[in-house]
Amino acid sequence: MSRMKLLAAAFTAALMAGGALAAANEPPETKLIAIRKISEAQARAIAFDHGLVHVEEISFLDGRWELAGRDVSGDELVIDLNAKDGSRLR
């Protein structure tokens, strides 16, 4: 292998390794944003469409929005939504 080819291969390998290291060092919040498709406001609107009238707690966990609150009669209601498309999981 010529010296130029060896240098080119080493340079390419260094670039690839640098990109992998940068991705590994991303904060977890950044990775979650890449997974999330619907916003918190959209999740609230979808939950209201499913009978939630008062949100007491909302959280984003494992690719889903979990909303807990009350329905129109005051009963507790928990709704889980797929964060990618807003479909109801529970």
Question: In this predicted structure, what is the pLDDT of residue 19?
Answer: 56
For 41, phi then psi, to 5°, come to -65, -40
What pLDDT score does 12 carry?
72
The per-residue pLDDT for 35 is: 56
- Position 33 scores a pLDDT of 54
Q: Are strands 76-82 and 64-70 parallel, antiparallel or unpaired?
A: antiparallel
Per-block average pLDDT, block size 10, for the chain (90 residues)? Answer: 66 63 57 70 95 94 94 95 92
The residue to which tokens 């991705």 are assigned: 23
Q: Is the pTM of this model over 0.75?
A: no
In angstroms, rounded to a whole number, what is the distance separating the alpha carbons of residues 72 and 25? 46
Residue 62 Ramachandran class (φ > 0 left, ψ -120 to 50 alpha, else beta): left
Distance CA 16, CA 48 (A): 46
